[in-house]
Structure 1
Amino acid sequence: MIPNFMYAAIRPFLFSLDPENAHHFTISSMKMASSMGLTAMAPSVSPSPREVMGLTFPNPVGLAAGLDKNGDCIDGLASLGFGFLELGTVTPKPQPGNPKPRMFRMPKAEGLINRMGFNNEGVDVLVENVKKSRFHQEKKGILGLNIGKNAITPIENAVDDYLICLEKVYPVADYIAINISSPNTKNLRQLQGESELDNLLSQLKAAQSRLSDQHSRYVPLALKIAPDMDDNQVKNIADALIRHKIDGVIATNTTITRDAVKDLPYAQEAGGLSGAPVRDVSTHVIRLLKQELGDALPIIGVGGILSGEDAKEKMEAGASLVQVLTGMIYSGPGLVRECVQALRRE
Structure 2
Amino acid sequence: MYPLLFRTLLTRFDPETAHHAGMLVIRLAGIWPFSWAARALTRPDPALRTSALGREFASPFGIAAGFDKNAVGAYGLGALGFGHVEIGTVTALAQEGNPRPRLFRLTRDRALINRMGFNNRGADAASRRLRALRARTDRPVIGANIGKSRAVEVADATADYVRSATLLAPLADYLAVNVSSPNTPGLRTLQAVETLAPLLSAVKDAAGSTPMLVKIAPDLADDEIEAITRLALDLGLAGLIAANTTISRDGLTTDAATVEACGAGGLSGAPVRARALRVVEIVRATAPDPRFCVIGVGGVEIAKDVRALLDAGATLVQGYTGFIYRGPLWARQINRGLRAG
Instruction: Indicate the residue corresponding to 2:272 in structure 1.
Output: 278
Q: In structure 2, how many angstroms separate the alpha carbons of the residues matched to 1:333 and 1:227?
A: 27
Deviation at 1:223, TM superposition (A): 0.7
SS of residue matched to 1:258: coil
Give the deviation of 1:88 after TM superposition: 0.4
Alpha-carbon spacing, 1:232–1:277, altered in 2? closer, same or farther (3 Å): same
Give the Å deviation of 1:136: 4.7
SS of the residue 1:267 aligns to: helix
Q: What is the deviation of 1:324?
A: 1.1
Match of 2:37 in 1: 41
Q: For residue 8 of structure 1, report the CA deviation from its aligned partner.
A: 2.3
Looking at structure 2, the residues matched to 120 and 195 of structure 1 have their Cα atoms a distance apart, in angstroms, of: 29
SS in 1 for 2:67: coil
Give the aligned partner of residue 54 of structure 2.
54
One-letter code aligned to 1:222: L
Is 1:234 the counterpart of 2:217? The answer is: no
1:94 — aligned with what? 94
Which residue in 2 is equivalent to 1:19? 15
Conserved? CA contact 2:45–2:339, under 8 Å: no
Q: Secondary structure at the match of 1:171?
A: helix
Structure 1 portions without partners, runs of 5+: 212-217
1:115 and 1:184 map into 2 onto residues whose CA distance is 5
Q: Which residue type is aligned with residue 259 of structure 1?
A: D
- Summarize deviations over 1:250-303 as a string: whole Å, max 9, x none: 111000000022734542210000010111111111111111111161210110
Task: Quote the offset at 1:344 in angstroms.
Answer: 3.3
How many residues align? The count is 332
1:343 lines up with 2:334 in the alignment: no
Displacement, 1:108?
A: 0.3
Alignment of 1:307-322 (within 5 A): 307-322=302-317
CA shift, 1:142, in A, is 0.8
Residue-by-residue CA offset, 1:2-24 (whole Å, 9 max, x unaligned): xxx3x224213111100010011
SS in 1 for 2:87: strand
Residue 63 of structure 2 aligns with an amino acid whose one-letter code is L
Mapping for residues 129-278 of structure 1, pairs under 5 Å: 129-133=129-133, 136-208=135-207, 211=208, 218-261=209-252, 263-268=255-260, 269-278=263-272
Supply the AA of the counterpart residue of 2:335.
Answer: V
SS of corresponding position for 1:85:
strand
Question: Contact 1:106–1:264 (CA<8 Å) still a contact in 2?
Answer: no
Q: What amino acid sits opposite 2:156 in the alignment?
A: N
Deviation per CA, 1:10-42: give whole Å up to 9, x if none.
213111100010011111232245446323212
Measured in 1, the distance between the counterparts of 2:106 and 2:317 equals: 23
C-alpha displacement of 1:59: 1.1
CA distance in 2: counterparts of 1:138 and 1:233, whole angstroms: 40
2:113 corresponding residue in structure 1:
113
Measure the CA separation in 1 of the matches of 2:32 and 2:223. 51
Check whether the contact 1:104–1:266 (CA below 8 A) recurs between aligned residues: no
Identify the residue that residue 215 of structure 1 maps to in structure 2.
none
Q: TM-score, normalised by structure 1?
A: 0.92
2:323 paired with 1:328: yes
Q: Which runs of 5+ in 2 are unaligned?
A: none
- The CA distance in 1 between the partners of 2:137 and 2:205, in whole Å, is 30
Q: Deviations over 1:164-205 (max 9, x none)?
A: 011001221000111111000001011110111111122122
Native 8 Å contact 2:75 2:139 kept in 1: no
Name the counterpart of 2:296.
Answer: 301
- After superposition, the CA RMSD in angstroms is 1.6
Task: Give, in whole Å, the separation in 2 of the partners of 1:30 and 1:239.
Answer: 38
Q: CA deviation at 1:139?
A: 4.5
Aligned to 2:67: 67
Deviates more, 1:253-262 or 1:104-113: 253-262
Question: For 2:105, what is the secondary structure of its paired residue?
Answer: strand
Contact preservation (8 Å) 1:148, 1:162: yes
Percent sequence identity is 39
In 1, Cα distance between the equivalents of 2:11 and 2:77?
20
Secondary structure of the 1:323 match is strand
The 8 Å contact of residues 106 and 265 in structure 1, kept in 2 or not, is answered as no
